[in-house]
Structure 1
Amino acid sequence: MEEKVKVALVQLFEEWADDKVIETEILPQSGSYREYIRLVGEKRTVIGAYNADKKENKAFLTFSKHFASKGLSVPEIYAEKEEEDIYLLQDLGNTTLFDYILHLRIGEGFANDLVLIYKKIISQLVRFQLEGENGLDYSVCYPRDSFDKQSMIWDLHYFKYYFLKLAKIPFDEQLLENDFQKFSDYLLDAPRDYFLYRDFQSRNIMLVNGEPWFIDYQGGRKGALQYDLASLLYDAKADLPQQVRDDLLDFYLQEIQKVQKVDAKAFTSFFQGYVMIRIMQAMGAYGFRGFYERKEHFLKSIPFALRNLEIILQRIDLPIEVPELVKALRSVIASEFLKEVGKDDKAKLHIEINSFSYRRGIPLDKTTNGGGFVFDCRAIHNPGRYQEYVEMTGKDQPVIDFFKEKSEMDEFLASVYHIVDMSVDKYISRNFANLQVSFGCTGGRHRSVFSAESLAKHLKEKFDVNISLRHIEREIEGS
């Protein structure tokens, strides 16, 4: 984020909130060019956004206000400066549905808690599609106000040029174009007078106190009911078991029937087709971001997409013949090149280091491998007991000096380094992917923060590893 944009967002926050920014955090970009920063004030925390695409901004801001008026769980818009392409919105924290899936997945199964959350999400999806559609100003939709023939052909060409061609999949150009036309005409026969969220997937759903909230709907438009459900259930790296998908499809049909009569057989037939076009659209994105823009983490979704594609091709029974399209998709599944893409045999060990408060509980292990350590820092002399350090953290120099001069911290950390180093050496030699180390204390602000910072510095200097560092109590205070 450019400094002038950051300054403008800080100024907008301080003018709107009558508060002073004391901390900022640049948030990582995902698949878009929008930029986000967390602004932490003395009284509250918000997210600042910058997007040079004015039309996309207008769509997002208009939709947000409309959905909020319907009681849907979307972030509140606090302030905006249209001429500077910036706005402030509610901070929903850091936990996406995708993060939660990593926490709760059990082996090859699927945790009951996750099924319940998905059912909550599906119930809200029905509300977006029907209640959200009522009175929505579709004139602000961007780039089109309907998922129509043009939109579908764009997606299919995206798949052709950025995935098939870059992955060197052979096909007959004219025959494939003929199938694209026939396939899109078939999908257009489904009723399409509903709000289509467009990117309804696990990274665009936040969990706040166990309840789903929704973001990134600026690409919304009119469309068929099936598309968003396909996006949710066949989200590549979410990797839902097929039986769970089938059960959730049945649940969706029960929910939609409560408010509108739907032919379940016809719905399901179209649903399979919309799963196909959604997978192809996603693969186009993986190809563009991964093969073309060289963003490797997008390539890691390809193996999951291949499995989804194989499943749907085994099950689909379209009333039309699209032989060249099916042939190309089967070639995608069989491609030895694509089977190797996304594999990360030479990846560096990733070490997640956390500080936390025991009052909130020990952090969950996202990888579910159960590896790692939790160190209790509460035996160390606590600077938080002294008034001059209460408002500080383990990153502030006076607190650092306290630990160096008036505590047992050096001895404690020497033991930690010895134990953790042994594991890091072994994990690297055995090509393990993840290690988690957490430090806990009473308040999660002084001893645990200093310990986490110190271990991160030590490991960066000694090993060639990737490290992520989280101070969980700071995140909670900022929410």
Structure 2
Amino acid sequence: MKFVIVTGLSGAGKSQAIKSLEDLGYFCVDNLPPTLMAKFADACYQTEGKIDKIALVIDIRGGEFFDDLFENLKYLKNQGYKYEILFLDASDKTLVKRYKESRRKHPLAPEGRILQGIELERKRLDEVKYKATNIIDTSKMTTRQLRERITRIYADEEQLDNQLMITVLSFGFKYGIPVDSDLVFDVRFLPNPFYIPELKGFSGNDKQIKDYVLNFKESNEFISKLYDMLEFLIPNYIKEGKRQLIVSIGCTGGRHRSVTIANTIYDKLSSKGYKVNKEHRDINEDKKKGGFKL
């Protein structure tokens, strides 16, 4: 049986996550009080396979009952019930923006500032985040991207052909390291095309930047060493049952060097038959801000 507990910050995307799991055939229950989780799990495990995929949303909306979560998780473990915890996270700035757009009050600060509620919620969720099996940062995700990420993690083995799903993610360090990264690599040691006026307007998806970055010996040595390491790691991850691997590659702004290197690693992994996806998280951030700033 697949048993997924969905939790995380209010406004981080739990509702969309549970919809995506429902589309994958999960029996879903939203806002189940943690104190009822053990009895619910017992009932589901006694169906002899009639209910074989379950997803529960449990968060601070349960009020004082939320504190019962860890006692019930301990019960599940003692009973031999295998479960996973999916934690949805987002930056404070993103959460405040979403609350203002929806005009909703934060459940922990109904009469106060939204940010105060977010800070309090982070503290209360700190321990469960530490125990999470998968963490997804939705700060810069569209609904479609979140749905695709959840599908890659929780789709049936048959759908994934029993293979690890790899995401090669480029990002800019000045916009923060992706919190759901498994491996993070810094390519800021490579020459930066930002400083070349005729190149800085292009991105790593353009031939001009690709040719510039890959023209350096250091770039090709780094790619070779990183790919060799991934070829060693991936079969071992698969052997241990890992289903998702996020390889994050960062430069200063996430537009030039990291994009080129991520594209090259993606191409190499794809050519070997691995299931691989690529995302360029910050490729347009500088353009949205009206310029290319350091």
Q: TM-score, normalised by structure 1?
A: 0.32
Q: Which moved more, 1:453-462 or 1:428-437?
A: 428-437
Are positions 1:474 and 2:286 aligned together? no
- Per the alignment, in what secondary structure is the counterpart of residue 215 of structure 2? helix
Give the C-alpha shift of residue 345 in structure 1: 4.3
What is the match of residue 360 of structure 1? Answer: 175
Counterpart amino acid of residue 156 in structure 2: D
Whether the aligned pair in 1 keeps the contact of 2:170 and 2:258 (CA below 8 Å) is: yes
Distance 1:423 1:393 in 2: 29
**5+ residue gaps in structure 1?**
1-106, 122-199, 205-234, 239-285, 287-296, 316-329, 366-370
Distance 2:5 2:267 in 1: 36
What is the match of residue 438 of structure 1? Answer: 248
Distance 1:440 1:410 in 2: 16
Once the two structures are superposed, residues 410-437 of structure 1 have per-residue CA deviations (whole angstroms, 9 ceiling, x without a partner) of 1110011011111112112232111111
Which of the numbers 420, 425, 429 marks the counterpart of 2:239?
429
- Per the alignment, in what secondary structure is the counterpart of residue 250 of structure 2? strand
Are positions 1:336 and 2:62 aligned together? no
**5+ residue gaps in structure 2?**
55-153, 290-294
Which of the numbers 186, 193, 202 marks the counterpart of 2:15?
202
Alignment of 1:28-177 (within 5 A): 114=9, 117=10
- Cα RMSD over matched residues? 4.1
Are positions 1:298 and 2:24 aligned together? yes
Whether the aligned pair in 2 keeps the contact of 1:345 and 1:431 (CA below 8 Å) is: no
Instruction: Name the CA shift for 1:439/1:201 in 2 (closer, same or farther; >3 Å).
Output: closer
Instruction: Name the CA shift for 1:454/1:344 in 2 (closer, same or farther; >3 Å).
Output: same
Whether the aligned pair in 1 keeps the contact of 2:204 and 2:255 (CA below 8 Å) is: yes
Instruction: Name the CA shift for 1:334/1:400 in 2 (closer, same or farther; >3 Å).
Output: same
Counterpart amino acid of residue 24 in structure 2: F
- Per the alignment, in what secondary structure is the counterpart of residue 175 of structure 2? coil
Whether the aligned pair in 2 keeps the contact of 1:356 and 1:440 (CA below 8 Å) is: yes
Give the C-alpha shift of residue 468 in structure 1: 2.5
Percent identity of the aligned residues?
A: 25
Are positions 1:394 and 2:204 aligned together? yes
Distance 1:458 1:362 in 2: 24
- Per the alignment, in what secondary structure is the counterpart of residue 351 of structure 1? strand
Are positions 1:416 and 2:226 aligned together? yes
- Per the alignment, in what secondary structure is the counterpart of residue 394 of structure 1? coil
Distance 2:247 2:203 in 1: 19
Are positions 1:451 and 2:254 aligned together? no
Which of the pair has the greater relative contact order for Cα pairs under 8 Å at 6+ separation? 2
Whether the aligned pair in 2 keeps the contact of 1:356 and 1:438 (CA below 8 Å) is: yes
Give the C-alpha shift of residue 331 in structure 1: 9.3
Give the C-alpha shift of residue 445 in structure 1: 0.8
Counterpart amino acid of residue 281 in structure 2: I
Give the C-alpha shift of residue 470 in structure 1: 1.4
Give the C-alpha shift of residue 452 in structure 1: 0.8
Give the C-alpha shift of residue 307 in structure 1: 11
Counterpart amino acid of residue 242 in structure 2: F
Whether the aligned pair in 1 keeps the contact of 2:6 and 2:14 (CA below 8 Å) is: no
Alignment of 1:4-23 (within 5 A): none
Instruction: Name the CA shift for 1:340/1:443 in 2 (closer, same or farther; >3 Å).
Output: closer
- Per the alignment, in what secondary structure is the counterpart of residue 374 of structure 1? strand
Q: TM-score, normalised by structure 2?
A: 0.50
- Per the alignment, in what secondary structure is the counterpart of residue 451 of structure 1? helix
